[in-house]
Amino acid sequence: MAKKGKKEVPKLSTSSLPDVIFMILFFFMVSTSMREKDVIVTNVLPQATEITKLDKKNLISIYVGVPLDQQNVAGSAPRIQLNDSFQSTAAIRDFIASEVERRDEAERSKLTVNLRVDENSTMGIVTDVKQELRKAQANKISYAARQK
């Protein structure tokens, strides 16, 4: 039937490929948020059922856990991580003050301190952090937890 032995297959049009990719890109831009800091302590959050979603915009995170590496320098007891370094409890007040300073005046009352504490820590360090937060008048806190 065919006169030609080879019939040329038409080229697949790729002109809409950028549109598709851009669509995926926008989806990821909207649904994700920037990774802000590296966590340098163990951070396995405890599990709970009675949890609520927290708005990332209004959160100040404090990490507590055992240092991941450099244990000969940083020790093997649970430490507090503020921003990107280990800090003592005394530094919390300044940290909160500077974080509050960075936020809009209207948003300040909504600020919540998110305590991201490793589940194997002891309450001693958590209580110390909480006492410092009370002194810093950051009374709204949340215990970060995973869905059980």
What does the binding site for another protein look like in residue numbers (CB under 8 A)? Answer: 14-15, 17-18, 21-22, 24-25, 28-29, 31-35, 46-54, 56, 59, 112, 114-115, 117-124, 126-127, 130-131, 133-135, 137, 139-147
Question: What are the angstrom distances between the C-alpha of 110 and each of 54, 96, 97?
Answer: 11, 14, 15
* Minimum distance from residue 61 beta carbon to another protein (Å): 8
Question: What are the angstrom distances between the C-alpha of 50 and each of 15, 72, 145?
Answer: 49, 38, 9
Residue 140: which of 122, 120, 115 has the closest Cα?
Answer: 115
Residue placing its CB nearer to another protein in the complex, 8 or 50: 50
Residue placing its CB nearer to another protein in the complex, 91 or 130: 130
Residue placing its CB nearer to another protein in the complex, 1 or 30: 30
Q: Are strands 112-117 and 85-87 parallel, antiparallel or unpaired?
A: unpaired
